[in-house]
Amino acid sequence: MVSALGMTAVLAGCGVGTGSDAVTLRLVAADYGDSGSNSSQRYWDALAEAYEARHPDVTVDVTVHSWSDVDREVRELVDAGRAPDMAQIGSYADYAAKDLLYRADDLLSIPTQANFVSQLATAGQVKGVQYGLPFAASTRVLFYNKTLFAKAGITPPESWEDLAEAARALKAQGVKYPYALPLGPEEAQAETMQWLLSGGGGYLDTVGTYGLDSARNVDTFTWLKDELVGKELTGPVAPGKLNRAAAFAAFTAGDVGMLNGHPSLMKAAEKKGVKFGMVPTPGVDGQSRSTLGVADWMTAFKKNGHQEAVGDFLDFVYDDENVLDFSRRYDLLPVTTSASGTMGAAEQDKDLKPFLDQMPLSELYPVGETSWAAVAAQLKKRIGRAVAPGDDPETVLAQLQSTALRAENAASAG
């Protein structure tokens, strides 16, 4: 390793400062691996080592937590006055609202900031200012079991009507879950948004306020209840009790005809020998004009005052080589335009191309709303009732809309 003195000229060019002042940057990150052998800790350790080799007066200390723990761990650090320099987590808006975060343009070089995929950069904004730096992304497509479809003599659906017809044919063949509809508390907000978008609606209205009980959203859930759930085409577990992980497990066991899925389902299905296909999300009158996009976020806290060093490290993090390395390790989509172009043209990434092709059509959760966490929590708890016997979609969505407006008012008042 070259001495700090020997690197003075290089560091001056890199913008991290010079001299003997050592800087330790602390990053808390989420784990995308499913075992110790592919833990994100390994990725970050290698990345930190590569960066430190070029910047001997900077130490990057990375702690990785599981997704079930990382947001809580960061919140506890912040509440205790010990915020990390950076946190790679699931949300950012509440920290931005409290003026705890650096703006993107306070940190990144112009080329780095301009290189983010536009939908992701926009989703990282609060009141027009970007605080959330997209770190990993995915979209959703419809997975179908090719073996079950062949036995039923059907083709992949393009519209809701096609999907219902396929589900009826699969049920007639004894398929356990003709269409798996996971509206359970694990990730109901994802399945819900996917369906709302395919019906021409969504969580927000045209002026950017919550519109959960819009006529289009009510129509979507009425169709789901009447045409799928009510006709016993969604399997033996009530949608409000079916979690995404259980739906995915049923698909890899060969018990599901169709379901919405993200890239990680590919490897899981391949490991179990399930022959599957993927098509764009069916919509109310043909292929859906929009699909669900999901992003996780890198944030940078002001607390420790390492603005310049953090910015330089993040420019390195978002170098195409590093973005592609991470995306390929964990079957995720790149968050930069240049890396997306590379992946779209690369033979080694052909399995991810269906998801990459959906990115221009994607819409993300309203993560820039400080009320979103509270709204998502209520959706997870209650949306399953919208398709349950004895409940009414319009009533359930109206109740959720009232909850959303209260959360928005509370966030604004705070």
Going along the chain from its start, the domains and CATH numbers come out as: 8-137+294-364 (3.40.190.10), 141-280+371-413 (3.40.190.10)
Nearest to 355 by CA among 344, 341, 367: 344
Residue 8 has pLDDT above 50, yes or no: no
Closest C-alpha to 168, from 277, 140, 157: 157
Token duo for residue 203: 């969580």
**Confidence class for position 414, pLDDT limits 50, 70, 90:** low
Q: How far apart are CA 280 and CA 299, in angstroms?
A: 32
If you ran DSSP here, which 8-state letter would residue 281 be given?
P
Cα gap 169→43, rounded to integer Å: 45
177-179 and 256-261 beta bridge pairing: parallel
Whether 130 has a pLDDT exceeding 90, the answer reads: yes
Task: Name the percent of the chain lying above pLDDT 70.
Answer: 95
Whole-model pTM over 0.85: yes
Residue 346 has pLDDT above 90, yes or no: yes
User: What's the full length of the chain, in residues?
Assistant: 414
- The predicted-structure confidence for 177-214, as pLDDT tens digits, reads as follows 999 999 999 899 999 999 999 999 999 998 889 999 99
Residue range 146-174: average pLDDT? 98
pLDDT at 296 over 50: yes
Output helix, strand, coil percentages for the chain, rounded to the nearest 5: 50, 20, 35
Please state the rounded mean pLDDT for residues 35-50. Answer: 93
| pLDDT for 3 | 30
Arithmetic mean of pLDDT over the chain: 92
Residue type, 300: A
| The two three-digit tokens of residue 254, written as one number | 């060969």
pLDDT tens digits, one per residue of 219-254: 999 999 999 999 999 999 999 999 999 999 999 999
